């Protein structure tokens, strides 16, 4: 199976320098036998990034938003992934659509409450945290 994980992250690097505050989104993909194995491989790769790069410096919280599973990838028609629409100021909520199609857009509302990302009003699951 093929797995794509969509993540959000938040760092507190601003404690050292206000201009170093970071938050954002990223995706990871892997071929694995199960969702549990894919998550473990994502976790290991993120630990590798934390050790060898500046991506997740300082205290960093990483939240998993979605885990998509495919048995094959499309070959005759492109598929849209992770469409996002932001209104005004970036601190405002945004609408995201994962795998939208003409029949269903499957959009969700995402926002931050304190330092916790929410999807449709529910707190996203903390996936990994570095201190």
Q: Is the torsion defined by CA of 129, 124, 66, 6 positive or negative?
A: negative
pLDDT reported for residue 85: 72
What does the alpha-carbon distance between residue 60 and residue 70 come to, in Å, rounded to a whole number?
Answer: 29
Asked if 79 contacts 20 with a C-beta cutoff of 8 angstroms, the reply is: no
Residues 53-106 have pLDDT tens digits of 777 777 889 999 999 999 998 899 988 888 777 665 556 677 777 766 656 667
Half-sphere exposure of 126 (CA within 13 A, CB side): 8
Question: In the chain, what percentage of residues exceed pLDDT 70?
Answer: 80
pTM for this one? 0.68
As a three-state string, the secondary structure of 20-49 is: HCEEEEEEEEEECCCHHHHHHHHHHHHHHH
Which residues lie below 8 Å from residue 41, measured CB to CB, with a gap of 6+? 30, 32
Rounded CA-CA distance 103/100 in Å is 8
């Amino acid at each position: 199976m093929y797995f794509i994980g969509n993540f959000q992250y938040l760092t507190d690097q601003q404690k050292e320098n206000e201009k170093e505050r970071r938050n954002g989104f990223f995706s990871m993909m892997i071929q694995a036998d199960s969702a549990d194995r894919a998550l473990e491989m994502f976790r290991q790769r993120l630990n590798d990034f934390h050790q060898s790069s500046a991506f997740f410096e300082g205290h960093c919280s990483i939240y998993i938003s979605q885990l998509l599973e495919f048995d094959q990838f499309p070959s005759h028609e492109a598929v849209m992934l992770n469409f996002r629409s932001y209104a005004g100021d970036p601190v405002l909520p945004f609408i995201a659509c994962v795998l939208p199609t003409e029949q269903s857009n499957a959009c969700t509302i995402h926002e931050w409450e304190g330092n916790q990302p929410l999807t449709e009003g529910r707190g996203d699951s903390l996936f990994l945290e570095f201190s």
